[in-house]
Structure 1
Amino acid sequence: MPFNCFFPLRFCWVLLSLLPATAAAQLIGGTIVNSATQQPIPFVNVGLPKRGLGTVCDEQGRYQLRYNLAYAADSVRVSSVGYEPRMLPFAALLAGANVGLAPLTVPLTDVNVVAASVYSRTRTLGLDKPAPMVDFGMISNELGTEIGTLIHVERRPSLVQSLHVVVKKNETTPLTLRVNVYRLDAQGQPTAEKLLQRDVLLTTGPPKGVLTADLTADLTADRLVLTEDCLLAVELVKSSGPGAPDVSKLRFGGALGYGGQCYFRVASQGAWGKPTMKSNVPLLGRKLQIAFYLTVKD
C-alpha cells in the first residue's frame, strides 16, 4: 500500500506495511460506558495494539470492530481522554457486555502563578505555509487512522491559543477529525499520553482552507501549557456520509524541510510509523512535514 501523498516524480516513497490480515474477518460490536454512571462515552479508542487493528466509538459509545478467531488470545486497549485506560482480554469483547472506563482521578498540584508578561509574544509553531507541490492524506479509511507532525517548542513555557490544520483539497463527505497533542518519550517518539484534557473536534467543510480550533474560549478546560516538544496529529473519528469514508479525497498541505518529522498510524491504538524516502537528489537532512501548526504565546 503506497503512502498517501503527492510529490514530484523524481521522488518515490517506501512504506513498511502495517495493515493487519483481514482474511475471514467478522464484526463484533459493543458499547463503552462510564463505569460510575453507566452513561456511554463518545469517540473512545478501541484496538488491538499488536495487530494494528482498531476503531473509534460513535457519539453513543458504540463500536464495531473487525476480527478473526486468531485474535482470541490478544489484548485490547480501550482509552479516552478523562478516563483510566484499560487493557483487557479480547474474550471480554466477545462476551458482548458493556465495557466500563473509570473516570480519571487527577491529583491536586501546586498552583504556579505566572506573570502576564511571560506570555507576551504570539508565535507560530509548526508548518503554516505548505509547499505548492506537496500534499498528504491519511493512510487508511479506518476510524482511528491518524497522521501528525512533531512540533518543536522553542520557548518554554508556551501557552497554546489555537490549533490549525491546513486542508489543501477536500472532495469527500464531511468528516470529523479529532485533534490530538501527544507527549514524546525520551527518544523523541510519540507516546499514548494526550496533553489535551478533552476532545477537540474539527469538521471538514470547504474544498480547501485552514481548520482552526480556538482554545481561548474556555481557559479552565483548555489551558494547555507546553514545556516540551510534542506531536500534533489529527485522527478520523466520524464520517457523515453513507458507507466507509474515502480519505483519499482529503488532502493536507505539506513540505520537505528542516522542521518536524511526519508520523502516521493505520488504526486506533496502533503503532506509530514514519515514511521513508528515496531520492535521486541530496535531501541534506530535510524531512517530510505536514501543515499542522499551533498559535502560542510565550
Structure 2
Amino acid sequence: MLPSTAAAQLIVGNIVNKATQQPIPFVNVGLPKRGLGTVSDEQGHYQLRYNPAYAADSVRVSSVGYEPRMMPFAALLAGANVGLAPLTVSLTDVNVVAASVYSRTHTLGLDKPRPKFNFSLRSNELGTEIGTVIQVERRPSLVQSLHVVVAKNETAPLTLRVNVYRLDSQGQPTTEKLLQRDVLLTTSPQTGVLTADLTADRLVLTEDCLLAVELVKSSGPGTPDVSKLYFGGALGYGGQCYARLASQGAWIKPTVKSNVPLLGKKLQVAFYLTVKD
C-alpha cells in the first residue's frame, strides 16, 4: 500500500503553532486515501516519503488542541512548513455530576489476554495504530487510568501515544479524540502492563469508544521493527479490534481464519480502562 522505493521522493518540513511559531510535537501528517503518512518529532520536524503521482490528493495535518487542516498535497509540496491554529473551544451547558455518584470502580476492556494470542502493529511507519472498542457498561463512567498489556518485546524502546476516539453511528472510529492531551507510553524489554493515570483529565465516557496506541517515536537506530512488539489479545465477545497502517490512514478490521464457527466472537487487544461509575 506504500509507494515503491524507486518512485518515492522525500518531503521535509516543520509544523508550528500559527500564533506563536513554536514547534508542535507529534503532529499527524498523512494522505488519508493512500495509507501514507508520518508523525512529526518533538521539534515539529517531519519527513514524508511520497509518490509524485499523488500531487492531486489531499493531505490532513492534525494535532490535539489545534484546528485540523485538510489541504491539497500540491500545496504542501510547494511549501513544506505548516502552521496550525490553536483550537477555539466553545463552551456549552455542562451537567455537573457529584463525585460521590461514581461509587463503583472496575475495568472496561480486555484485562485478561489469552496465552500466546498476541497482536503487533501493522507497519513500521510512524502513525501506525492498533486499538479495541471499549464498551461502556454504565453511563456516565469517569476514567481513572488506562492500561496496555505488553506480552513480548524484542525491539528498541518505542514511544506510543494513547488515543481515545469517538465512534460514529455505525460504530466505526472517527477522527475526533476524546482525550485532550498527548499521553505517551514508552516500551521496555520487560513484559507487563503499561499504565497512565488519567484522573486529572476528568474524562467522562457516555458512549462506547476506541482505545488505541499509535507509534510516534523510536529510540533505536533506523526503522523500528514493530513485528517484535506484541500486545496481549483474545478472541471473545467484547469490543472489536481495529488497526491502520499509517498516520491518517483508513481503519480496518483484522480478520482471523478458523475451521470452526466464531459465533459472533471478535478479535480483541488487551487494552483496558479503569473507571468509576
TM over 0.5: yes
Which residue number corresponds to residue 7 of structure 1? none
Which residue number corresponds to residue 123 of structure 2? 140
Which residue number corresponds to residue 185 of structure 1? 168
Distance in 2 between residues matched to 1:142 and 1:116, nearest whole Å: 42
1:35 matched to 2:7? The reply is no
Which residue number corresponds to residue 252 of structure 1? 231
Which residue number corresponds to residue 210 of structure 1? 193
Question: CA contact under 8 A between 1:29 and 1:96: conserved in structure 2?
Answer: no
TM-score (norm 1): 0.91
1:74-122 Cα deviation digits (max 9, x unpaired): 1100000000000111122212342010000011222322122211110
Which residue number corresponds to residue 168 of structure 1? 151
Identical columns (%): 86
Distance in 2 between residues matched to 1:226 and 1:109, nearest whole Å: 17
Question: CA contact under 8 A between 1:258 and 1:285: conserved in structure 2?
Answer: yes
1:124 matched to 2:107? The reply is yes
Q: Identify the range of structure 1 (198-207 vs 252-261) with the bigger mean alpha-carbon deviation.
A: 198-207
Q: Secondary structure at the match of 2:180?
A: coil
1:20 matched to 2:2? The reply is yes
Q: Secondary structure at the match of 2:256?
A: strand
1:212-267 Cα deviation digits (max 9, x unpaired): 01012xx2xx1100000000000000000100110011000000110011100000
1:153-208 Cα deviation digits (max 9, x unpaired): 00000000001000000111110000000000000000000000000000001420
Q: Secondary structure at the match of 1:288?
A: strand
TM-score (norm 2): 0.97
1:71 matched to 2:50? The reply is no
Distance in 1 between residues matched to 2:190 and 2:184, nearest whole Å: 18
Distance in 2 between residues matched to 1:165 and 1:97, nearest whole Å: 35
Amino acid at match of 1:279: S
Distance in 1 between residues matched to 2:263 and 2:70, nearest whole Å: 43
1:119-159 Cα deviation digits (max 9, x unpaired): 11101000000001200000100000000000000000000
Q: Secondary structure at the match of 2:217?
A: strand
Which residue number corresponds to residue 93 of structure 2? 110
**Which blocks of at least 5 consecutive residues in structure 1 are unaligned?**
1-18
Partner of residue 282 from structure 1, selected from 248, 252, 261: 261
**Which blocks of at least 5 consecutive residues in structure 2 are unaligned?**
none
Distance in 1 between residues matched to 2:86 and 2:223, nearest whole Å: 31
CA RMSD of aligned residues (A): 1.0
Which residue number corresponds to residue 84 of structure 1? 67
